[in-house]
Chain A
């Protein structure tokens, strides 16, 4: 079936280091969303990417959507302790069961002060 994999599953960084998580889909996506879930919390929407090759920035966060619309990445520059949490991508497969938003497995980010 359709899958969205994320790597790494877990990343531990020192505060100030950069962090990147990658999202790979087995199928072409219409668009992709990113969510952040703080420990003990619920997922919160960060951003959506729609166009092939699209790049968006939110302060220290940079989001990219691959040219083939099958992969995406989230890069955090100079991590802070407030960045701790699990980051999920969520893709809407193009065609087929287009009402099913498929979530990635998530990347848990730990930031050591």
Chain B
């Protein structure tokens, strides 16, 4: 089944404790992206990747890191989480450059709480 998976689905952590949210897609998609969703703010792009070893900042990259060592995986790293990073996070992938007939496939989401 074609899908985007994220782990963990739920995470409660404390300020400053490094964490990684994994994202994997099995569709051989080139483009991958991380979003955070907050009430009233919609989906905001954190980082995106156009291919292996190619990543770039989205609109809200502060406090986050990503890597794209393999095509299928795009982990999101919070080196020192803070309470303002409490949010719902979505990973997404698309076959090619988004907005050109290429829908984004979203993962199920990771609800992160930073105390």
Contacts and interface: CB of A to CB of B under 8 A. Distances in A.
Interface in A88-106: 88, 90-92, 99-106
A101 B45 contact: yes
A105 B99 contact: no
Contacts of B45: 100-103
B100 A105 contact: no
Sort chain B's interface into a size bin: 20 to 34
B89 to A, nearest CB: 11
B107 A42 contact: yes
Contacts of B108: 41-42
A48 interface: yes
A30 interface: yes
Contact of A42 (B50, B90, B103): B90
A77 interface: no
Q: Which of A45, A101, A105 has the most CB of B within 10 A?
A: A101
A43 B98 CA distance: 15
Q: Which of A6, A31, A102 has the most CB of B within 10 A?
A: A102
B58 A43 contact: no
A101 B101 contact: no
B98 A92 contact: yes
A33 B103 contact: yes
B99 A1 contact: no
List the 3 closest pairs (A to B, CB-CB), nearest first. A92-B99, A45-B103, A103-B43
